[in-house]
Amino acid sequence: MLSDKELQDLMADLESDRVERKASINEKDKIRQAICAFANDLPGHRLPGVVFVGVYDDGTCANLSITDKLLLTLSDIRSDGNILPFPTMTVQKKNLNKCEVAVVEVFPSYNPPVRYKGRVWIRVGPRRAQATMEEERRLSEKRRAGDLPFDQHPVLGATMEELDLDFFRRSYLPFAVAPDVLIDNRRSLDQQFASLRFVTKDGIPNVSSIIVFGKDPARWIPGAYIQFLRIDGKDITDPICHHKEITGHLHDQLHQLDEIISANISVASDVRSRSTEIKQPDYPIVTLQQISRNAVLHRTYESTNASARIYWFSDRIEIYNPGGLYGNVNQQNFGKGVTDYRNPLLAEAMKVLGFVQRFGMGIPLAYNELQKNGNPEPEFKFEPTGVLVTLRRRQ
């Protein structure tokens, strides 16, 4: 987000093509057009455009009362369905140059062209205009060039300060880059992150970077945590004996989950003779690790704020992944070595961190461990928006 000094300079700059000034909220139609134009960012500034409400065209104050109702009206523009795809924007009340104004900050879209009521608006110098066919083509080319998996999309507003840089240096970089390359590496930390595709060329962390290294991933990606419930019974309405929201960056989450799984597994002893004692858990820990890690890896972080969840009942464990099957994987070839990745950079990070040894082997390994332990085969329920895995307790 822009600082107050940057906003003051923009408000006073009458020539900037990143600024729109409106004296009142009554010009809502033109405000929407301006938001659409800033989101399209045809000049390629890769910087936010700003609509100042409460300012005349010459930059002087309109003495407009900035109320909560006015701010809410402006905020509703984002998702009222008139501008598609939804713009990324913030709305704030500010006192700038001795003037009370509403500031609408609009970030460039990664999926242009953006349309307001079906029309593409752009900035041509200091004015708005409808895009020509050639200009729409240029916007479409920008979208294709920016078509990256969602886990590599930048998290607008985030900075390197959101990341655990010490963890990156100590626990990730040495395993991601060959030792001799590291010795000769004179790159800055920003450049090291960029070379591993975790930040944009402008230094903005992407989704994977926030998940893998973020100090508080759920602040930026609401579903980036794991929900664990231990239920004393067979129904969801039975008493809950343990509840944990597992947060932190990816390494911490998966290690916490391993500890919780280990603490909840029951081990039975079968004494075959005085010298032989066979211990068997009610669930094989390797299976629980593989299925739960798959849920974190293959889930969608784009279209839902739901978390991956593990519900541990007295007779079964249900592990839910909020993301349907992806790409080349379907119900017929699932678990047979066919792989595809909704989150390829996240998959790479999990391999570097040691949570994945061989791609495509998680489900076969889970089956094998269940069979060796005497558990029934896992049950899979495939839905367009998620996959539910049910593991039955060993009798």
DSSP string, 117-136: TTEEEEEETTEEEEPPHHHH
Range list for CATH 3.30.565.60 in the chain: 226-392
**pLDDT value of position 192:** 86
Tens digits of residue pLDDT in 27-48: 899 999 999 999 999 888 889 9
The candidate with the shortest Cα–Cα distance to 214, out of 174, 252, 187, is 252
R_g (Cα) of the chain, nearest Å: 26
**One-letter amino acid for residue 394 of the chain:** R
User: How buried is 9 (Cβ within 10 angstroms: 0-12 exposed, 13-18 middle, 19+ buried)?
Assistant: middle
Question: Are the C-beta atoms of 242 and 229 separated by less than 8 Å?
Answer: yes
* 205 CB burial (10 A radius; 0-12, 13-18, 19+): buried
pLDDT in tens, 223-241: 999 999 999 999 999 999 9
| Cα distance between residue 38 and residue 23, in whole Å | 19
Q: What are phi and psi of 257, to 5 degrees?
A: -65, -40
Which pLDDT value is given to residue 372? 94
The CATH fold assigned to 4-147 is 3.30.950
DSSP class of residue 326 equals: -
In the chain, which residues fall in CATH 3.30.950? 4-147
Whether residue 1 contacts residue 104, with contact meaning beta carbons closer than 8 Å, is answered with no
Calpha distance 51→53 (Å, rounded): 6
CATH architecture assigned to 226-392: 2-Layer Sandwich (3.30)
Task: Give the per-residue pLDDT at 272.
Answer: 55
Quick one: DSSP state of residue 266? -
The confidence score (pLDDT) of residue 232 equals 96
pLDDT for the residue 271? 54
pLDDT along the chain (395 residues), means of 10: 89 88 92 95 89 93 94 90 87 92 93 85 86 81 69 91 95 84 75 87 91 95 95 96 95 96 83 61 95 93 91 97 86 81 90 80 89 95 92 92
Q: 49 - beta bridge partners?
A: 106
Say how far apart CA 76 and CA 104 lie, in whole Å: 12
Q: 310 has which bridge partners?
A: 228, 319
